[in-house]
Chains A and B, each alone.
Chain A
């Protein structure tokens, strides 16, 4: 193994917040960086967060060794319209949330069970027909994955997930 990796063989998760100019092409640049250099993307979200300053925030969940994550951050920083890059995992405490819409079609006991579990997970019903529900659920990646897994035998039809939004705890930005 390369000498550089001896110290940090184990991969970890990173949740990277990237503040960028909200201009066409910037998302392609970021995504192209990941695909071009073979980094993983577990989740990616993007939206404008400061209309006046024309800034968007991209949140990327990835994993890799310390060296790879440092490399990803440096590569992101190199992109011309990128203002700030921050790994929330090493930055201190932070909150991560994802929203999912989960469609379940079933009847009888299964339908009742689906509702009961949704209740436990604090998922809301946002659409219902005689034979189906759409649940809205927010939470950590794990919580949503657990909910989706439980729905599988109960008539899971489709899932739409937003990807992770993340923000640091406390009064400071990022």
Chain B
């Protein structure tokens, strides 16, 4: 191919096209006008104009998590870039591949406090996997390619590429490189160490009370890893729990699935964590929402940890067999060895373990008291779950709070990449724009944001984007008129002093929907619920369903922060059993 003179903007567009990008979420401004000018002169890259840059990043996250591809964002300098910070931090915590292209003032003005200048590199350094400032148009193509490589490979994450205005207007010769790019220092390890995997096989085979604990790393590795996990679980009959991020990595209907683990996980999952003798952790990171008190975490178990990120291993919890590698590669290798050795856990011991687990299961830790007059949020989700089960074109996003935890408990996922929630950062306002991104990637799918009324207001403006692109996203608001999760903590840990957690002066969500050209629905009593859910699903346009739920409901079971897994509070009838020390810890902990 002959070299051709092109401007930086044209090169950028070309490289994005060559990388297979089909959609960009963005918002224009002075520093990126040349790029927007190049964008409107081509047809293969679609630009989705959000209403606030932060939403562009969440939309890109939703797009990425539901497709496995890199989500792309384009914003202007200064406020455009700073508005992206929350989304970038979110994507970093949840390992979502996002490339965020930010405009920057011309190179000769950098450092001069120029109009709409911000130190984007400095601000985003701790909330990105990596970031770049392109100072020369000759570096542009390479850097953008590298950014995609870094974002998508290894443990995925967000990458910022800062583009000064003079760089995107300068011209240079451009030729498409023939080979994929190689990075001199960055090369994530995919294959696990054979000896360690071998050791792990022996350890698991010798277990009497084994547990598999899998997380978002399995989802990130790709659908094949989820299939391998399912094969391993079926082959071994080992009880398996998933983290909030891992839901869908093993079908919820699998008989060995014992529910989500963690602060609001199932009793059986948390008791298994506590009592197991060998734990196989696959692509999860022992975070504090999962472990509870680390000194009381799974005290008797030997632990195997498969993770692509060496820094996740031995960070919070000491493990006996660390395996650094991609979950998919390692699981494949593990299964091969398991089969060739004809390994199996002691059948009688495993039966006894299952009997014990069934005992915990029978306590039905997600149960709640029904009401004839008030819609229980759990009930609303049960109805929703019934309506969507059996369909594989349903994608769920959530906001953050009680509704998020109930969604994780009551909605069942049979496949990975169908559940998008802000786990690590816990970002209110994530769900609606994330749903927008999912719907762009899957135009014909049913995309539902399970929302709280407080969270959804944080990015409500995106209803306008939904209208512009005719995206039929459903916002299913469990409206309890409270920042429910905050109220619950105030009830448990702060003597019921409900400081600033009541949501006064809420909008009329039905009218609000109409104002945005969407359909507004409301259910206020249990007998209205089924019809509203059905109508929401049947409506071909965007919907806000205002589900007026019991304002006093709390999420159970709960392992209070600072407590151990076997100190679960099961229901409102049980006192939160915490001694003073842990109560204070609970107040300090988040």
Contact = CB atoms under 8 A, between A and B. Distances in A.
Interface stretch (A68-76, A111-119, A157-165): A68-76
A2 interface: yes
B311 A4 contact: no
Interface in B116-139: 121-122, 125-126, 129-131, 133
A64 interface: no
A21 B317 contact: no
B311 A32 contact: no
B129 A74 contact: no
A29 interface: yes
Interface stretch (A80-88, A99-107, A143-151, A166-174): A80-88
B311 A75 contact: yes
B314 A80 contact: no
Interface in A33-85: 36, 67, 70-71, 74-75, 77-83
Interface in B299-334: 299, 309-311, 313-318
A82 B187 CA distance: 11
Given A21-B184, A21-B185, A70-B314, A78 B309 contact: yes
Contacts of A1: 295
Nearest to A33: B126
A130 interface: no
B185 A74 contact: no
A28 interface: yes
B125 A32 contact: yes
Contact of A2 (B121, B122, B131, B317): B317
A36 B309 CA distance: 18
Contacts of B126: 32, 36
A24 B162 CA distance: 14
A80 B185 contact: yes
B67 interface: no
B184 A2 contact: no
A79 B157 CA distance: 12
Given A28-B125, A29-B125, A32-B126, A82 B318 contact: no
A120 interface: no
Contacts of A28: 122, 125
B150 interface: yes
Contacts of B133: 24-25
A30 to B, nearest CB: 11
Q: For the side of the interface on A, what is the size category?
A: 20 to 34
Interface string B381-410: 000000000000000000000000000000
B419 interface: no
B294 interface: yes
Contacts of B122: 28
A3 B286 CA distance: 13
Contacts of A5: 318
B559 to A, nearest CB: 17
B311 A82 contact: no
Interface residues of B, number: 26
Contacts of A82: 185
A71 B311 contact: yes
Given A7-B318, A71-B314, A81 B185 contact: yes
Contact of A74 (B130, B186, B295, B313): B313
B310 A4 contact: no
Interface string B40-71: 00000000000000000000000000000000
A15 B121 CA distance: 29
Interface string B257-291: 00000000000000000000000000000000000
Interface in A80-98: 80-83
A4 B184 contact: no
B318 A3 contact: yes
A3 B317 contact: yes
A67 to B, nearest CB: 6
Nearest to B183: A80
A67 B122 CA distance: 29
A4 B185 contact: no
Interface in B142-159: 150
A93 to B, nearest CB: 26
B382 to A, nearest CB: 38
A19 B316 CA distance: 27
B174 interface: no
A147 B273 CA distance: 55
Nearest to B297: A3
B184 A3 contact: no
Given A2-B317, A71-B311, A25 B125 contact: yes
Contacts of B185: 20-21, 80-83
Contacts of A3: 294-295, 297, 299, 317-318
B427 to A, nearest CB: 19
Interface string A1-29: 11111110000000000001100110011
Contact of A77 (B121, B125, B310, B318): B310
B295 A80 contact: no
Nearest to A77: B310
Contacts of B316: 2, 4
Contacts of A21: 184-185
A83 B183 CA distance: 10
A79 B129 CA distance: 8
A74 B317 CA distance: 15
21 contacts: A2-B294, A2-B295, A3-B297, A3-B299, A6-B318, A20-B185, A21-B185, A32-B125, A36-B126, A67-B318, A71-B311, A71-B314, A74-B309, A75-B311, A77-B311, A78-B310, A80-B130, A80-B185, A81-B186, A83-B184, A83-B185
Given A78-B309, A80-B129, 20 more contacts: A2-B294, A2-B318, A3-B299, A4-B294, A4-B314, A4-B316, A21-B184, A24-B133, A25-B131, A25-B133, A28-B122, A29-B125, A36-B126, A71-B314, A74-B310, A78-B311, A80-B130, A80-B150, A80-B185, A82-B185
The 6 residue pairs across chains A and B that have the minimum distance between CB atoms: A4-B318, A74-B311, A80-B130, A2-B294, A74-B310, A83-B185
Interface of B: 121-122, 125-126, 129-131, 133, 150, 183-186, 294-295, 297, 299, 309-311, 313-318
